[in-house]
Chains A and B, each alone.
Chain A
Amino acid sequence: MRPRPQVAFGSLLVLVTFAACGAADRPGEASAAVAAPALPERFGLGTPVDEARIAAWDVDIRPDGTGLPPGSGSVEDGAAVYLLRCAACHGPTGTEGPNNRLVGTEAWEDFPATRTVGNYWPFATTLYDYIVRAMPQDSPGTLSADETYAVIAWILHRNELIGADAVMDASTLPAVEMPARDRFVVDDRLESNVVR
């Protein structure tokens, strides 16, 4: 519930305050101090929501595939989606830009030369989670589930992670093995006063 402004009273108050400036009464002088009331565990604010409302907003895709919708897409279909909806920004083969490189299969030891799906991303499901939110950048969230699976299939294939005839869906996508999966380590900086 929103507090309602009391316009007429408010402007009157301003005038009175100016006139009486300096002559404010002193709160607390006459009455004894009273402790602030103890706060409750809950305030009873907020409005309950049903599952449909939550489902409409919850687009998270987890590494185990939780959240992936029905549908599927092939590498071949993905090539068409990519050309139409992505290539202008990410380049004809996903390497030319002008925006982020999506294809990079260079193996690396010390540091990755490129940091992309093929050699740096630890989870294939992240592609679905991200593309539904943010891509194509000029019209985010406008691909159908089939188109999304298809363009992901194309990206994974170009990164040499799945074959040319692979089909991505809610069960095959989480199963794609990502080369950089084991590169990621937990932050250990706080265990020390010395830079790590």
Chain B
Amino acid sequence: MSKSGQGVPRSIERRTWLAAALSGVAASSLLRTRFDAVDLLAQQSEPADPTKVMGRLVSELGSRAPGEQPRRQAGPAAPSSSSRTPLGDLHGIITPADLHFERHHAGVPAIDPESYELLIHGMVERPLVFTLPDLKRFPSVSRIHFLECSGNGGGAFNPARMPTDITPQAMDGLLSTSEWTGVPLATLLREVGVRPQASWIVAEGGDAAMLNRSIPLEKAMDDALIAYGQNGEGLRPEQGYPARVFLPGWEGNTSVKWVRRIEVTDQPVMSREETSNYTDPLKGGSARQFSFVMDAKSVITFPTFPYALPERGWWEVQGLAWSGRGTITGVDISIDGGRTWAPARLQQPVLPLAAVRFTFPWNWDGREAMLLSRCSDETGYVQPSAQEYIAARGEQTRYHSNFIRAWKVTPDGTVTYGLGDLL
């Protein structure tokens, strides 16, 4: 929409309250904010009074309103790349499937569902292959869970130059939430009969990276799924069609997409994605391996860059909180950079290992403010400050970045990432 250029200059001109100094990249996303939607639509065609003309007819496939055109933010056009969910443009907790973040190591494979097979072998009584229709004949479950890449938020701290003009999408958009439908992996493992000596499984994708990850058998027998459905439809190709591993609460890379082979073993394979990649160097010279669980984290999605507040008065601070350790129990908001805190409201549903939407009514007095959110979960874990996080891990761990983010609102209404001011 913004790329077509339709109505763009006029729209920006009329929105006097929008921060004028934003870069060209940011400007294109301005037209997708919740505040612009109605306005932009109104300018485009001066439509006739809809109560006096017949509307559009029924159709086989729906489409978004012209004024609602959220987009993923795509990284470099390369086989190993990612795209990020527009966190600031969505409501509730469910990510529309076409806006779910992507992280591929060798592009999105085209897999024929008719010839698709999942092989399970290794330390089992009966090695078997399952077709997609086979998988769908087993008792199914549907569960709402977040999925987060462990590299999410890696740009939230940069000792050389702290970012300011960064959106929550660019910073933390490798986080999405869906209703996943599939067969519990435990059901399939019972079908093949796991031998008592087994302690790991190794899952492998059918993409051009044949990406492989070792997963403790305990997790596989607990809440792991072989998922074939997402938000009511079949998986999107980008999310692993025809079927993927889904490990609730664990770093995204372990939920192997396009899964075609699972080997039951008694040891990890030590693949590149669990040694060279997705391990966490810690201060003091060690590197954490198999750091599966995503710690509790919250992010404010509004008000954030590139949005601006046009006037003082009531605004709703909003965001998402999630924890791979369990259920979110609370989110606190600070508007004064962490000096005082007040509880946010958690929207229902509040589900284990799922993102929760939090809201906080805020009567902005027009003065400078620094907005923070801090969540806690049922295990008692509290989202750390950047200082606590750096004290524990050092400055160079880029995975599992879950410290408290900060958003600075200045009297003219502009909002920028403000963590640099707090360090």
Q: Which residues of A contact B (CB under 8 A)?
A: 1-3, 39, 41-43, 45-49, 53-54, 57-63, 108-112, 115-117, 120-123, 125-126, 129-130, 133-134, 137, 140-141, 180, 183-190, 193-196
For B260, what are the chain A residues with a Cβ–Cβ distance below 8 Å?
57
Give 26 CB contacts A-B under 8 Å.
A45-B130, A45-B138, A47-B130, A48-B126, A54-B121, A57-B261, A60-B204, A60-B263, A110-B283, A110-B285, A111-B285, A120-B276, A121-B275, A129-B212, A134-B208, A137-B79, A137-B80, A137-B208, A184-B286, A186-B288, A188-B288, A189-B291, A189-B293, A193-B381, A193-B382, A196-B392
A49 touches B121 (CB 8 A): yes
Please give me the residue from chain B that is nearest to A140 by CB atom. B208
Interface centre among A59, A108, A190, A195 (most CB of B within 10 A): A195
What chain B residues lie within 8 Å of A141 (beta carbons)? 210
Given known contacts A43-B137, A125-B270, A189-B295, is B284 in contact with A110 (CB within 8 Å)? yes
Determine if A1 and B295 form an interchain contact, defined as CB atoms under 8 angstroms apart: no
Q: A189: which B residues are within 8 A, CB to CB?
A: 288, 291, 293, 295
**Best-buried of B134, B287, B389 by chain A (most CB within 10 Å):** B287
Q: Is the CB of A60 within 8 A of B130?
A: no
Per DSSP, chain A at the interface is loop
- Bound complex: CA of A53 vs CA of B121, how far in Å? 11
Among residues of A, the one whose C-beta sits closest to the C-beta of B284 is: A110
Question: Nearest CB to that of B139 among chain A residues?
Answer: A39
Contacts of B204 in A (CB 8 A): 60
Given A62-B269, A196-B392, check contact A140 B127 (CB 8 Å).
no
Residues of B within 8 A of A112 (CB): 281
* A126, B272: Cβ atoms closer than 8 Å: yes
* Interface membership of B379, Cβ < 8 A: yes
Beyond known contacts A58-B263, A133-B211: 15 more, CB 8 A cutoff: A43-B137, A43-B191, A45-B134, A48-B126, A49-B119, A53-B119, A60-B212, A129-B269, A129-B270, A137-B80, A140-B106, A183-B287, A187-B293, A194-B384, A195-B389
Question: Shortest distance in angstroms between B107's beta carbon and chain A's nearest beta carbon?
Answer: 10
**Partner among A1, A57, A183 whose Cβ is within 8 Å of the Cβ of B133:** A1
Give the size range of B's interface with the partner. Answer: 35 or more
Minimum CB–CB distance from A47 to chain B (whole Å) comes to 5
**For window 242-294 of chain B, which residues contact chain A by CB distance below 8 Å?**
260-261, 263, 267, 269-272, 275-276, 279, 281-293
User: Closest CB-CB distance, A180 to chain B, in whole Å?
Assistant: 8
Q: Which residues of A contact B20 (CB under 8 A)?
A: none
Q: A76 to nearest B CB, angstroms?
A: 25
Contacts of B272 in A (CB 8 A): 126, 129-130, 134
B109-135 contact mask (Cβ, 8 Å, vs A): 1 or 0: 000000000011100001111110110
Q: Give the distance in Å from the alpha carbon of A46 to the alpha carbon of B131 in the complex.
A: 7
Known A-B contacts A133-B210, A184-B279; A190 and B325 likewise in contact (beta carbons under 8 Å) = yes
Inter-chain contacts of B212 with A (CB < 8 A): 60, 129, 133
Whether A2 touches B131, Cβ cut-off 8 Å, given contacts A41-B190, A58-B263, is yes
